[in-house]
Amino acid sequence: MTATPKTLEAFMNWTRERNPGQEEFHQAVEEVAAHVLPFIAEHREYAEARILERLTEPDRIISFRVSWMADDGTVQVNRGWRVQLSNAIGPYKGGLRFTPGVSESVLKFLAFEQAFKNALTGLPLGAGKGGADFDPRGRSDAEIMRFCQSFMTELHRHIGPEIDIPAGDINVGPREIGWLFGAYKRIENRFDGALTGKGASFGGAPLRPEATGYGLIYFTACALEAMGEGMDGRSVLISGAGNVATHAADEAIRQGGKVITLSAHDGCLHHAAGFSHEQINEVRSHKAGGGHIKDLARPFGAKWRADAKPWDLPGHIALPCATQNEMQEADAQALVDNGVLLVAEGANMPLTPDAMGVLRRARTAYAPGKATNAGGVAVSGMEMSQNAMHGPGDREHVCRRLNETMVAIHQRCLEHGRRKDNRIDYVKGANIAGFRKLADAMLAYGVV
Ligand code: GLU
């Protein structure tokens, strides 16, 4: 091959051959390539420099053993990774997740998505992602702390404020970031901004825990406004009950929405009257204490729907905030049948390609995670600036910039995503806007 092929089929054959068995990675690449290939075909310089092929090949992947001792004295062995995908527009940046489902394919898909997301924020942030196949469920605090410390004994040599700046993701929150940063600081004997999502007392940006969820709602408000709609009085279906879901719920309630669901992997909490801020706070503290959200059904006057998802319930706005591929074809069809107005992603790639197809055919407004959930990494970028300046954080400033960033991302999606019938193709808009920024930087560097 001498230039990027024009057809999706040829490009995907090439990708699949090079990355056998990595289904999640194929899925993320295909979704981007479908929009970017026609754009590349109109821009020979991108095709000849084979920018898209180069973006699908990470700069490097580090894989390492994490040994640690459980409370019962048994020796445990896990695998950790850091995928450093691209530093074309800034140092590698992206979260760490600890779940048994983590694999090289999952982390490559997440790092690839992150490249576009970070480009869309307008900040100088490259792309990376990492984590481990470690399941913290049922583990004591001491075990999780020892795991984080062992993980950092290898990761520390690959990161730094100008190199690679990890943050949290699934099962890696402020507590884990504290343990990871404590280990980094001790091994390296330096205090710098090599991680974001830190606690407020040691360099964390204000609003970082809330940023992804709040940002999702700021974007949702822009998308609703573009449709001549608003959040006030609308029912909101949210999946998940973690950091993104609960903060999205808080901001949706603040904007007048009625949040009627949260969920876990084994069922959905349905609160027909709508959750209050106090109840969302209780969800957070109950979970932090190791509890399950189903225990809250009775005290909240809500219903626990075992093994169900939120998507078959009538709602105007659907916000999948749990994990990849959580919304499937039948789920999307149920939403469409119930007249959903907008689906906006809090998680990374929560819709399967079939679910996206249902929304496309029904002409339902749909906004992808790489645009809608970029608020978290955007505030991480602010934390990096704050740390580099050795200054304190300013809550008001961060809050205003988060809102401005989400409005700007929405605007960037419109530039390439406005259709002839005036509806907005957010997926196309986000993919092309992100690609252009990365591609122009890569062209400037020559063939490296
Ligand atoms: N894990 C988050 C994401 O998916 C945040 C990454 C970061 O702050 O670096 O974008």
* Local confidence band at 17 (pLDDT 50, 70, 90 cut-offs): very high
Q: Is the pLDDT of residue 38 over 80?
A: yes
Q: What is the percentage of the chain residues whose pLDDT exceeds 90?
A: 98
* Containing structural domain, residue 110: 60-191
- Looking at the structure, tell me whether residues 322 and 350 fall in a common domain: yes
Residues 207-227 pLDDT 10s: 999 999 999 999 999 999 999
Let me know if residue 405 belongs to a domain: no
* Other C-beta atoms lying within 10 Å of the C-beta of residue 176: 20
- Looking at the structure, tell me whether residues 176 and 311 fall in a common domain: no
As a whole number, the mean pLDDT across the chain is 97
- Looking at the structure, tell me whether residues 149 and 248 fall in a common domain: no
Q: Distance (Å, rounded) from C-alpha 108 to C-alpha 209?
A: 24
Q: Stretch 343-369: mean pLDDT, rounded?
A: 97
- Looking at the structure, tell me whether residues 167 and 261 fall in a common domain: no
Ligand 1 atom 9 nearest Cα: 94
- Looking at the structure, tell me whether residues 149 and 269 fall in a common domain: no
Write down the catalytic residue from 108, 129, 309, 437.
129
Let me know if residue 154 belongs to a domain: yes
* Ligand 1 pocket test, candidate residues 212, 324, 387, most atoms within 8 A of CB: 212
* Local confidence band at 356 (pLDDT 50, 70, 90 cut-offs): very high
Let me know if residue 183 belongs to a domain: yes
- Looking at the structure, tell me whether residues 244 and 301 fall in a common domain: yes
Q: Distance (Å, rounded) from C-alpha 216 to C-alpha 422?
A: 23
Q: Is the pLDDT of residue 100 over 80?
A: yes
Query: What's the CA-to-centroid distance between 5 and ligand 1, angstroms?
Result: 31
Q: What is the pLDDT of residue 11?
A: 97
Let me know if residue 423 belongs to a domain: no
* Ligand 1 pocket test, candidate residues 109, 165, 169, 383, most atoms within 8 A of CB: 169
Let me know if residue 202 belongs to a domain: no
- Looking at the structure, tell me whether residues 77 and 181 fall in a common domain: yes
* Local confidence band at 432 (pLDDT 50, 70, 90 cut-offs): very high
Q: Give the CATH number of the domain where residue 342 resides.
A: 3.40.50.720
User: Could you say which of 191, 224, 256 is where a domain stops?
Assistant: 191
Q: For the chain, what is the domain count?
A: 2
Let me know if residue 88 belongs to a domain: yes
Which of 212, 223, 252 is CA-nearest to residue 369?
212
Q: Is the pLDDT of residue 4 over 70?
A: yes
**211, 298 contact by CB (below 8 A):** no
Q: What is the pLDDT of residue 421?
A: 86
Q: Distance (Å, rounded) from C-alpha 305 to C-alpha 215?
A: 29
- Looking at the structure, tell me whether residues 249 and 170 fall in a common domain: no
Let me know if residue 43 belongs to a domain: no
- Looking at the structure, tell me whether residues 248 and 140 fall in a common domain: no
Asked about 185 being catalytic, the answer comes back as: no
- Looking at the structure, tell me whether residues 215 and 157 fall in a common domain: no
Q: Give the CATH number of the domain where residue 172 resides.
A: 3.40.50.10860
User: Could you say which of 339, 363, 387 is where a domain stops?
Assistant: 363
Residues 254-279 pLDDT 10s: 999 999 999 999 999 999 999 999 99
- Looking at the structure, tell me whether residues 226 and 358 fall in a common domain: yes
Q: Is the pLDDT of residue 416 over 90?
A: yes
pTM of the prediction? 0.96
CA 114-117-122 angle, to 5 degrees, is: 130
* Local confidence band at 164 (pLDDT 50, 70, 90 cut-offs): very high
- Looking at the structure, tell me whether residues 245 and 165 fall in a common domain: no
Which of 7, 10, 77, 81 is CA-nearest to residue 37?
7
Let me know if residue 274 belongs to a domain: yes
User: Could you say which of 338, 363, 388 is where a domain stops?
Assistant: 363
Q: Is the pLDDT of residue 132 over 80?
A: yes
Residues 373-401 pLDDT 10s: 999 999 999 999 999 999 999 999 999 99
Q: Answer yes or no: is the C-beta of 167 below 6 A from any ligand 1 atom.
A: yes
**126, 93 contact by CB (below 8 A):** yes
Ligand 1 atom 10 nearest Cα: 377
C-alpha dist (Å) from residue 74 to 70, 96, 98, 340: 5, 25, 20, 50
* Local confidence band at 1 (pLDDT 50, 70, 90 cut-offs): low
